[in-house]
A = this chain, B = another copy of it.
Amino acid sequence: MAKTKGPSRPKAQTPKGFRDYFGAEVSARRAMLDKIAEVYHRYGFDALETSAVETVEALGKFLPDVDRPNEGVFAWQEDDDWLALRYDLTAPLARVAAQYRQDLPTPYRRFAMGPVWRNEKPGPGRFRQFYQCDADTVGAASVAADAEICAMLADALEAVGIARGDYVIRVNNRKVLNGVMEVAGILDPADPSRFEAERGIVLRAIDKLDRLGVDGVRALLGEGRKDESGDFTKGAGLDETKIAHILKFAEASKAVDTLINDLEGAIEEVFDASFEDLSSFQKAVRVSYEKRNEKPQTGNHARSIAALDVLGELIETSEEGQSGLDELAQIVDLLYAQGYGPDRIVIDPSVVRGLGYYTGPVFEAELTFEILDEKGRPRQFGSVAGGGRYDDLVKRFTGQTVPATGVSIGVDRLLAALDAKGKGPGRAQGPVVVTVMDRTKMADYMALVNELRQAGIRAEMYLGNPKNFGNQLKYADKRESPVAIIMGEDEAARGVVQVKDLILGAQIAADASVEEWKSQTQQVEVPRADMVATVREILARYA
């Protein structure tokens, strides 16, 4: 099509993949962030707000979207620097921890909340700007720091209204995966830089197990995979033996399920049989039972023990793998001992996290209740938060290892979850509307609305064209106003106003004439001096 001459009008559109948030959506998010901040603060975390823009070199490239422009980051050149929008709140924290390392306390606990940007392929429900709400501890090597983050995450979820039982925090450890890769021959402890690219592909492939299925992951571990659109993703090029071992890890959750099913089928056996005849898993369950003198360990407690058992076999003699298992056991022990029990915390081998920078414990908070998808089919809500330990992110800047661990809550997903549970933003009450009957009395109408506002009542004067009174009523209706104030020439002369209960009067057609409107009993005439008290009375009815 030939371009027409002259400047054309700009399109009034959000860029692809971005959206706007209105009224109650904004305040519901604000309220949620405030509640989470309160929990983070109580745990001793201090607020930090970095700018949206960082240098590309400071951010580093850790997103899994290697096939996107700038590897998934919005970036541009500015004089000699490449600048970019932050894609998470962790990379900027690493920069801050290095930049201010002389001044910050060690360990440094900080929380941050704000939007992040990812240059993802836009798609339905996928947005390129979204909120995160993070808390991290920098400078603490102890697994107690990881455990603390998990406990705090549980408290934060409950603070915003996710009931206990409606969520579970799944914990795993990257060192275990590294142990598995060592056994598979794609990690050489003597030279960790070998096979780095292959391990990246393996990590991202396992993280996609849910979406791609075993065959998809197998293809990515081998030569590669063609998706439905025909796009080809290069694989890690591993041989069959290596693939088989990695797949055992990818499917460890299934192995856990099998153990649990066996256990639950014959829980008595575990306690009646001779100790030597038991599997390592059954032994662990029995020891745990005898140590605590509690009920037989089933459910998530047994699941955690089973996970340690299954993973233990996959790491064989890998030292790193063993250290990962020990950390997992410690974290869960610390949490269970404090009452963050198996109803909330479970070891789960399926958690790997897609980001490349994790080095130790990783965790995800999953909501366990079902919602209906777009097609009305029930499905689990899924993950709303995740995090883990990343001991090398600060080292990028300083050359010295600085242990760090943290969590990021996906604010928008969590809001969607609350919405699905019927705890989303309700219909907010609109403002009182002072209608305009007489254009020459603008100062008087403003005085009325001012009086209401100074009394703390949300109020507006109608500011559109006052000629058509019906439009003013339509406006009040659209604003969900509980009350309208009416003062014509006659009322003004007598020093009174009409106070109209619009909630009671909702049945009146929006195009009713002024006369009809006035004849309704939901309307009272009061002296001007009583206006505020009368409005308060009506608002109290609907509070």
Contact = CB atoms under 8 A, between A and B. Distances in A.
Contacts of A139: 463-464
Given A83-B15, A129-B53, A106 B464 contact: yes
Contacts of A18: 51, 53
Nearest to A405: B463
Interface in A26-47: 26-27, 29-30, 41-44, 46-47
A75 interface: yes
A12 interface: yes
A134 interface: no
Contact of A447 (B53, B137, B338): B338
Taken together, the copies of this chain in the complex come to 2
Given A95-B12, A399-B9, A463 B144 contact: yes
Contacts of A354: none
Contacts of A75: 76
A44 B95 contact: no
B49 A20 contact: yes
Contacts of A16: 81
Interface string A431-443: 1000000000011
B14 A464 contact: no
Nearest to A95: B12
A140 interface: yes
Interface range on chain A (Cβ under 8 Å from partner): 35 or more
B9 A397 contact: yes
Contact of A22 (B48, B52, B76, B479): B48
A350 interface: no
A194 interface: no
A109 interface: yes
A148 B436 CA distance: 15
A21 interface: yes
Contacts of A47: 21-23, 26-27, 30
A27 B46 CA distance: 10
A482 to B, nearest CB: 12
B446 A148 contact: yes
A63 interface: no
Interface in A326-356: 333-334, 337-339
A12 B397 contact: yes
Contacts of A29: 49
A242 interface: no
A297 interface: no
B447 A478 contact: no
A460 interface: yes
B48 A74 contact: no
A363 interface: no
17 contacts: A9-B398, A11-B55, A11-B58, A12-B398, A14-B99, A15-B51, A20-B49, A20-B50, A53-B117, A53-B128, A74-B83, A75-B76, A105-B478, A106-B464, A109-B460, A142-B442, A144-B461
Contacts of A57: 10-11
A495 interface: no
A14 B81 CA distance: 12
Contact of A44 (B117, B397, B431): B431
A60 B10 CA distance: 8
A309 interface: no
Contacts of A30: 47
**Minimum-distance CB pairs A-B, first 6:** A76-B76, A44-B460, A12-B98, A140-B463, A26-B47, A44-B431
A46 B29 CA distance: 14
Nearest to A462: B107
B461 A58 contact: no
Interface stretch (A216-224, A451-459, A501-509, A532-540): A451-459
A531 to B, nearest CB: 15
A396 interface: yes
Contact of A453 (B43, B458, B461): B43
Contacts of A475: 105-106
A144 B142 CA distance: 62
A298 interface: no
Interface in A453-506: 453, 456-461, 463-465, 475, 478-479
A119 interface: yes
A242 B165 CA distance: 77
Interface string A399-431: 100000000000000000000000000000011
A450 interface: yes
A37 to B, nearest CB: 8
Pick the most buried of A46, A147, A478: most chain B CB atoms within 10 A of its CB: A46
Contacts of A106: 464, 475
A142 B443 contact: no
